[in-house]
Amino acid sequence: MKNKPPYAIESVDNALRLAQLLLLDGTLSVTEAARHLAVSPSTAHRLLAMLVYRDFAEQGRDRRYRPGPALRSSGAAEAPLALLRRVGQPHLERLVEATGESANLVVLAGDEIRFVATVECTQVLRVGDRSGKALPALLTSSGKAMVALLEGARADEMLAGLDERDRARTRRELAAARRNGYALNNQQTETGLTALGVAVRGPHGQVLAGVSLAMPTARFARDQVPGYVRELAACAAAIETDIARQPGPAAPADW
């Protein structure tokens, strides 16, 4: 798990977060940027202006900001991610309403998962927004659920960096995820956090994304797992249906 540097420069961190949001959302207004960063609109405007100056963003005639040449040339799949977030958002909101816990939509990025969207629950003690963050896939619930469905060679690549003991444990977890249709992260990425995750498939059966419910471990109860899994599966199925209805080419298997 990545730790924030002890001497983090807030303005740099905010600029990088805006670059991530541009990739995830596709477009961003000054007001939206200010809300995401919890800063004033004038501060958000100055940060976006610097991104434009360095070609990480560009402003359209509608005054909204879009990824600039520096981001587009990185090969990032801006359009599919924006589509996935747009399609998934209302289903995440319904999942939160049904369960009372925070929900996340993630994609695989190498051996990590990247959070595409988060909908927070309203409980005082809750798991917060993870949008734009990355975590090791094999430690997270949705990451394990996705890796469990990958073809053998691709899954073996994910396991290659583990020592023998961790590899054996992870193989057992992946087998359980395939068998049960969901995976569990019980404080593997953060003390006091428990999450359940399922995979989302694309129109051709490829692993497209993952959905997870994250909650404080103190509130997690094993007897609630079947209900959580039903709601997660329903959310994933609804996203799959809506993605299949979208015009244009199918999204790639690994973003």
pLDDT at 28: 86
Express each pLDDT in 86-96 by its tens digit.
899 999 999 99
As given in the structure block, the two tokens for residue 94 are 């319904």
Can you list the pairs that 29-38 forms with residues at least 24 positions away whose Cβ atoms lie under 8 Å? Answer: 29/63, 29/64, 29/65, 30/63, 30/65, 33/65, 36/131
What is the β-pairing status of strands 207-216 and 193-201?
Answer: antiparallel
Gap between the Cα atoms of 136 and 162, Å rounded: 12
Q: Which CATH architecture has domain 10-72?
A: Orthogonal Bundle (1.10)
List of residues 6+ apart from 14 with CB closer than 8 A:
37, 39, 43, 47
pLDDT at 248: 56
pLDDT at 14: 87
Provide the CA 135 distance to its chain's centre, in angstroms. Answer: 9
Does the domain formed by 78-244 have CATH 3.30.450.40? Answer: yes
- For residue 66, report the phi and psi dihedrals to the nearest 5 degrees: -130, 165
68 vs 115, higher pLDDT: 115
pLDDT at 208: 92
Instruction: Return the amino acid letter for 44.
Output: A
Averaged pLDDT for residues 104-118 = 90
Averaged pLDDT for residues 13-30 = 82
126 vs 61, higher pLDDT: 126
Tell me if the pTM is above 0.75.
Answer: no
pLDDT at 74: 46
Gap between the Cα atoms of 15 and 30, Å rounded: 13
- Is 255 a residue whose pLDDT tops 60? no
H helices then E strands: how many in the chain?
A: 9, 8
- Is 26 a residue whose pLDDT tops 50? yes
pLDDT at 199: 98
- For residue 207, report the phi and psi dihedrals to the nearest 5 degrees: -75, 115
Output the DSSP codes for 142-165: HHHHHHTTS-HHHHHHHHTTS-HH
Within 10 angstroms of residue 156's Cβ, the number of other Cβ atoms is 11
138 vs 111, higher pLDDT: 138
What is the β-pairing status of strands 183-186 and 193-201?
Answer: antiparallel
- Is 13 a residue whose pLDDT tops 90? no
Express each pLDDT in 27-78 by its tens digit.
889 998 898 888 999 999 999 999 998 888 899 888 899 888 777 654 444 3
Give domain limits for the chain: 10-72, 78-244
Averaged pLDDT for residues 2-18 = 71
Q: What is the 3-state secondary structure (H, E, C) of 235-254?
A: HHHHHHHHHHCCCCCCCCCC
HSE-up (13 A, CA, CB side) for residue 17: 20
Gap between the Cα atoms of 142 and 198, Å rounded: 5
Mapping DSSP to helix (H, G, I), strand (E, B) and coil, where does residue 182 land? coil
Express each pLDDT in 212-245 by its tens digit.
999 999 999 999 999 999 999 999 999 999 999 8
pLDDT at 1: 44
Averaged pLDDT for residues 200-211 = 92
